[in-house]
Structure 1
């Protein structure tokens, strides 16, 4: 195997960061970071507390890091999804809640559009504990899907399913509801000449949906519970679907021509997000871990994992520290790949911590390096 490393490139002060979304726009390299909450002075540490009347940070890449570009009012920020339709650029943001406790989960999530100099509100969507937007195209049509919901005793009567919207040329219109209780994520991809949409749920089974020409229909279940995220890659002539789970072991599935079947079980719990990096001799996968333990007493200082494809399996080739890790995204500059990782909770369960951007390098094996890196 080739030696690979993640070397810290820069740190960004954030508070309860829940996602990282790098994108290119009008010659700028931007990074959107939604924030769940700010710490409340004098209050005890509580991953479910804090002030959720927060802003999304929009940052512009410079020579040595990122500088402020714009802030957007995104209370209880969980996600940001950048996409284009024709010559228009959009940034869809997801808000899980607002307030300082008790919290309002029935809140609007805002889709912004680029004016030429800044992002401005375009459309709001009424949601409930919104977690993630995902834009994708099928059969020449633009879709925008919202994963949402939270299954708590006091929210059960008003919980809502996940939603899929379709672009009609002027706005996003509701196209389909997807059964969910505590949804987290989507992943759209094609395999075997078919279009699929994976939907992750913490309480219900995570399911793979297939486009039948008019709507998405259930194709198979891919995790019984605790679903958080997905990734797909092609290696050694096969297509693979990786399913990250928080309280269950994450699994790698292989396409057999009709369904995804079990291929490998990954060690460890706490899986929250995934990203794939191309390599010289096969793909790499970054797995970001969130917490272990309970919501009331979480262990947030975990090691997250770098895998390399080797001999038909994902093999661990490095680890790096995360603190309530929530998201990972890959981008690149003139020096090569960058890997952005959002951290939501410090070791003492406070929201104020750092989002970290790493430089990814792949090279021949070498002597042990004492620098800060994951290998």
Structure 2
């Protein structure tokens, strides 16, 4: 009976512990946390106390002169409304390690619990034992030896107390990288990576990925070092009241002596695939503080400490740069304006500026349309020639144009209701057009949650498109047509149902040869779907969706599906930010996907429109798409790939920068190892789509405007 009571009490105790654990809030749904930017950007006009900006090899980093309190902050400032550290995460670091003493340990960062004042019971007991030990040995020591021994023991106790305060930290010695954390039973555990090769006085980018059953260290996007620990990282690591210390553990001993350029905590995922592969793996970027971007440090800067680094003056390159006291005397070349500028400490002063335009892209036609246009679809009709269907915003209808030697001429008006996209496809010799209708206006949308999209068929007798089939859709943003095993399919991107429900199904339709109509084949869950892209690699068929919004945030996963035994199955997910378009292209045997990211938005926070859109390359060995290149875009809504001879190009539709719709859309050329580089800037207004086409040996680009009733055709002058 007594044993049953004991077991019962133990169960009650365990239940109480579980109940306590349930009250702790976990850190979930967090975006990457830029720890270095958080401390450096408290005052963007100057560097904070305790750090100096230095440069090595033309690359900026910060050097820590002291463990100043300005480099520390409460974890609750970034890890908001949570008590437990994420159980899966990664840490991205870019650093340059100088030669250090073999016995020295230096902290890149640490997360420490607050000092406990008055809780010295265990320490006092240890101290008493130590004194007894000293008295026992007093016969064998001189008074001086006893005093030195006592000081050593006191120092040992202080070090022991500091170690017990560590919740989490990343430090390195001459040959090893140590990841420390408070493990099971409150004991500080260490995972050690040997032979990381960081002490060579070169820049390196590290990604430490902590998963449920393993931890991996990737240095400069190379093959990762992997550890499978006997115990996993704790799921109940309490961080209440803790503080982050950047470049130290809050004291002089262990202060980081090298240069630090990037320090990002990525909760919930391994950031390796977000930055690798990279054209410059030693400086692979996830998030670098603006103060350290492309603004060189000059030799005129004064440093308090004796360690010297290579410094140099150079011209920075980019579309945007800030001019402040830190950048005084620096020069900047803007490739958009073809201008060279000098910072006087406040504003950029023009030194040289070229107003000439490149001559191989010429404006060919300004096409006045009946209303704003969301999409252009260019296609050929046998016996007619080149045509273009334009998705007009107006409920009065959308237009089909016919190409002539002078440009596009109006050919047919088709009744549409808030058209967002057109797609043409063929079945045998027959040509079809399908339109995405978003509704007939605000009042109509309130009355009905469904919109009808319509398939039109080309009539050889009438020489026009005639209505063929109607399909119910939900604010359809895009249609994709494709063939698999001699069967024709249509995929619709349903954006939202009603005004607020974005998490809905998009639909795959299959052509039924008996009923001569499209019927539902498969439903796929999407989040504010914006675009479908179908492509084939060898014997495999893929379909990728651009997910834009889940009702809360634009940071959502877009999904790549692969065709398996008659239906699409998930192949890979990629984090995107209001993804609006995917474009697949091949260069030689290499397969790429590029995403147009629209903007960053989380809950009621501000929108960020100047963000990276990313090119991914298919890793044939790893059988997944990996990051290849980031390109800064401004609320991008479309990519178009094309080739001229042996040259390959991408053009992006930049639509909005947060202030204006009048922006330059940028044409990029493939430069091999360098990836895509900007070569031409085309002025556009609310650009919504780009299409490339050829006619009689000449090549053209056409863009549509979602903000003005016009479209423009550009002629590509080739040599």
Give the TM-score category using the shorter length.
Answer: 0.7 to 0.9
Runs of 4+ in 1 over 6 A off after TM superposition: 1-5
1:67 to 363, 388, 410: 363
2:656 to 345, 348, 368: 345
1:289 Cα offset (Å): 1.0
Counting helix residues as a fraction of each chain, which structure ranks higher?
2
- Supply the distance in 2 between the matched residues of 1:216 and 1:96 (Cα, whole angstroms): 26
- Supply the distance in 1 between the matched residues of 2:404 and 2:545 (Cα, whole angstroms): 37
- Supply the distance in 2 between the matched residues of 1:151 and 1:243 (Cα, whole angstroms): 26
Query: How many residue pairs end up in the alignment?
Result: 305
Paired residues of 1:272 and 1:325 also in contact (CA < 8 A): yes
For residue 223 of structure 1, what is the aligned residue in structure 2?
525
Paired residues of 1:274 and 1:287 also in contact (CA < 8 A): yes
- Supply the distance in 2 between the matched residues of 1:67 and 1:2 (Cα, whole angstroms): 38
* Alpha carbons of structure 1 residues 202 and 294: separation in structure 2 relative to 1, 3 Å: farther
1:168 Cα offset (Å): 0.9
1:150 Cα offset (Å): 5.0
Alignment of 1:200 with 2:493, yes or no, is yes
Deviations 1:13-50 (A, max 9, x none): xxxxxxxxxxxxxxxxxxxxxxxxxxxxxxxxxxxxxx
For residue 669 of structure 2, what is the aligned residue in structure 1?
359
1:234 to 529, 532, 536: 536
Aligned residue for 1:166, secondary structure, equals strand
- Supply the distance in 2 between the matched residues of 1:120 and 1:154 (Cα, whole angstroms): 33
- Supply the distance in 2 between the matched residues of 1:108 and 1:294 (Cα, whole angstroms): 35
2:459 to 150, 153, 168: 168
For residue 430 of structure 2, what is the aligned residue in structure 1?
141
Higher Rg: 2
- CA RMSD of superposed structures (Å): 2.9
- Supply the distance in 2 between the matched residues of 1:279 and 1:167 (Cα, whole angstroms): 34
* Alpha carbons of structure 1 residues 294 and 135: separation in structure 2 relative to 1, 3 Å: farther
Aligned residue for 1:197, secondary structure, equals strand
1:372 Cα offset (Å): 6.1
* Alpha carbons of structure 1 residues 87 and 349: separation in structure 2 relative to 1, 3 Å: farther
Superposed, 1:195-344 pairs within 5 Å as 195-203=488-496, 204-213=504-513, 214-235=516-537, 237-247=539-549, 248-293=556-601, 298-310=607-619, 311-344=622-655
- Supply the distance in 1 between the matched residues of 2:669 and 2:406 (Cα, whole angstroms): 29
Aligned residue for 2:397, secondary structure, equals strand
* Alpha carbons of structure 1 residues 244 and 141: separation in structure 2 relative to 1, 3 Å: same
Counting strand residues as a fraction of each chain, which structure ranks higher?
1
For residue 16 of structure 1, what is the aligned residue in structure 2?
none
- Supply the distance in 2 between the matched residues of 1:295 and 1:167 (Cα, whole angstroms): 45
Of stretches 295-304 and 87-96 in structure 1, the one that deviates more from structure 2 is: 295-304
Of structures 1 and 2, the one with the larger relative CO (CA 8 A, separation 6+) is 1
Deviations 1:136-187 (A, max 9, x none): 1013210011112159864413774111100111111111112112111111
Paired residues of 1:275 and 1:330 also in contact (CA < 8 A): yes
| TM-score, with length taken from structure 1 | 0.74
* Alpha carbons of structure 1 residues 152 and 293: separation in structure 2 relative to 1, 3 Å: farther
Of stretches 114-123 and 207-216 in structure 1, the one that deviates more from structure 2 is: 114-123
For residue 147 of structure 2, what is the aligned residue in structure 1?
none
For residue 112 of structure 1, what is the aligned residue in structure 2?
401
Paired residues of 1:300 and 1:349 also in contact (CA < 8 A): no
1:342 Cα offset (Å): 0.6
Paired residues of 1:70 and 1:118 also in contact (CA < 8 A): no
**Any gaps of 5 or more consecutive residues in structure 1?**
6-10, 12-61, 98-105
Aligned residue for 1:293, secondary structure, equals coil
For residue 130 of structure 1, what is the aligned residue in structure 2?
419
1:232 Cα offset (Å): 2.2
